[in-house]
């Protein structure tokens, strides 16, 4: 469902893309009680949340095939917004054609370059010409408008439903291990019960200009038994003297071991910014079955 003038900000969640995109699907899967609002850019999503025009925003952080979404790491620290949740979404691509089309009718497929890359082997087997689009849902919308049996889109099942297309071939993606991690952002931090398990904390920090600063800063996590799930570095504006580090760890700053680790981190850093304390996606807590 899309936002309308009668909905309140608290009833609306924003995403980047077009209706029917995987981000839209993620919103509907994890926040089915909210109306969705499509935005042209990630900046627009952040602005709407910051201005209180929507209650939540849902943004992709990383993909198991394509890696991190670097743009988000540049935008989030410049805001006063908070990460309040994470959601794993399995990305499934399908070949979408107009009503009455058959698979053998299709000569050309349109979609976002990442989607085309993730379906490269299947598309080659089908001997289809491809053309990149700004997003998967926009490709589906245009294919529906062209009403040409020789043209198809690579997109979601939701896009097929919204634009009246038929799924000519399901599961076009080459790998079943194709998951995007989305972060929910809000104006206020999420209240976490101290007794709640499976909590994550995401922190942005800049180390001091002293020898072995990063090594020393991270030592507190080892000595206090805090598990780090992610550590990434990036250089804002390409200035090497101001490298920043983005870290996600297991635990709540209210936990003694996490608090001590963050205190030690702060001693070796010029700046430490907590971006969010939030529940982990349930998928993180599933037991791993090892092959024999």
- Point out which residues pair with 114 in neighbouring strands: none
Q: How far apart are CA 204 and CA 128, in angstroms?
A: 44
DSSP E strands, 7-156: 12-16, 35-39, 56-63, 67-68, 82-90, 94-97, 108-111, 129-132, 151-155
Question: Count H helices, E strands: the chain?
Answer: 9, 15
Confirm whether 12 is a catalytic residue: no
Under a CB-based contact definition with an 8 Å cutoff, are residues 280 and 182 in contact?
Answer: no
Query: What is the sign of the dihedral through the CA atoms of 186, 188, 192 and 194?
Result: positive
Candidates 180, 201, 202, 206; catalytic one: 180
Candidates 15, 42, 46, 182; catalytic one: 182
**Locus of tokens 């804002």:** 236
Confirm whether 180 is a catalytic residue: yes
Known catalytic residues are 180, 182
């Amino acid at each position: 469902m899309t936002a309308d003038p009668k909905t309140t900000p608290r009833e609306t969640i924003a995403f980047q893309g077009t209706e029917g995109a995987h981000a839209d699907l993620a919103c509907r899967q994890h926040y089915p009680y909210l109306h969705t609002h499509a935005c042209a850019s990630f900046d627009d999503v952040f602005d709407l949340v910051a201005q209180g025009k929507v209650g939540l925003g849902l943004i992709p952080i990383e993909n198991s095939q394509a890696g991190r979404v670097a743009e988000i790491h540049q935008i989030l620290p410049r805001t006063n917004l908070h990460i309040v949740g994470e959601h794993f979404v399995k990305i499934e691509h399908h070949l979408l054609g107009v009503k009455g089309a058959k698979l053998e009718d299709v000569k050309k497929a349109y979609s976002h370059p990442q989607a085309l890359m993730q379906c490269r082997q299947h598309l080659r087997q089908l001997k289809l010409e491809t053309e990149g689009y700004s997003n998967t849902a926009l490709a589906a919308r245009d294919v529906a408008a062209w009403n040409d049996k020789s043209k198809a889109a690579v997109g979601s099942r939701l896009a097929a439903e919204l634009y009246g297309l038929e799924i000519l071939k399901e599961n076009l993606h080459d790998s079943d291990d194709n998951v995007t991690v989305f972060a929910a952002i809000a104006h206020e931090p999420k209240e976490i019960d101290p007794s709640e398990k499976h909590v994550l904390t995401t922190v942005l920090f800049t180390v001091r200009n002293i020898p072995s600063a990063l090594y020393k800063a991270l030592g507190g996590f080892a000595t206090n038994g805090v598990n780090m799930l992610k550590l990434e570095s990036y250089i804002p504006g390409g200035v090497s003297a101001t490298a920043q580090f983005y870290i996600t760890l297991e635990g709540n700053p209210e936990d003694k071991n996490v608090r001590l680790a963050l205190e030690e981190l702060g001693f070796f850093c010029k700046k430490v910014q907590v971006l969010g304390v939030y529940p982990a996606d349930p998928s993180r807590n599933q037991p791993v079955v090892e092959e024999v």
